[in-house]
Amino acid sequence: MELDSLYQEVILDHYKKPHHKGLPTGEIQVHHVNPNCGDEITLSLAIRDGKVEDLVWDGVGCSISQASASIMSELVSGKSVADAQIALQEFTEMMQSKGKYQGKEEILEDAVALAGVSKFPARVKCALLGWMAFKDAAIQNGAEL
Ligand code: ZN
């Protein structure tokens, strides 16, 4: 898999030093797996005053899945549910574009580093795993996504 080297560095950085990774302690915990690759994410969060808070995740798997979960958690933590939803939609659109859509950096920040992954259908599920876990957890916490 060939990715732009600057983007490669962003991904490796998040893989080596993941943000918001720890033991999820929320009452509602979601566990998502990507059996194609063996990736697993457990995640919990709280919604307070319409904002995403206390997002903590733990996981194992490939660098794409773990880096993407780290990037997602950094991006949506502290954001309003509405802004997190915009980021989620933008990321999903980028991931489903088969390499045609690079994503808006002002919405996705570091997550644009994963744009190249959308060219590799087998890896798209790796990149989306953490984001789907976030969506699931937000809905279970009463957010309308
Ligand atoms: Zn994977």
Strand segments (E) across 5-145: 30-34, 39-48, 51-60
- What is the per-residue pLDDT across 77-122, written as a single tens digit (0 to 9) for each? 999 999 999 999 999 999 999 999 999 999 999 999 999 999 999 9
For 47, the domain range is 3-140
Distance from the CA of 35 to the center of ligand 1, in angstroms? 9
How many Å lie between the centroid of ligand 1 and the Cα of residue 61?
Answer: 6
Measure 49 CA to ligand 1 centroid, in angstroms: 34
Residue 145 lies in a domain: no
Distance 50 CA to ligand 1 centre (A): 31
Angle in degrees, 0-180, between the axes of helices 121-140 and 81-95, rounded to the nearest 10:
160
Does a structural domain hold residue 94? yes
Total number of domains constituting the chain: 1
pTM here is: 0.95
CATH of the domain at 131: 3.90.1010.10
Quick one: pLDDT at residue 4? 75
Q: Looking at residues 48-58, what average pLDDT do you find?
A: 97
Mean predicted lDDT score pLDDT of the chain: 95
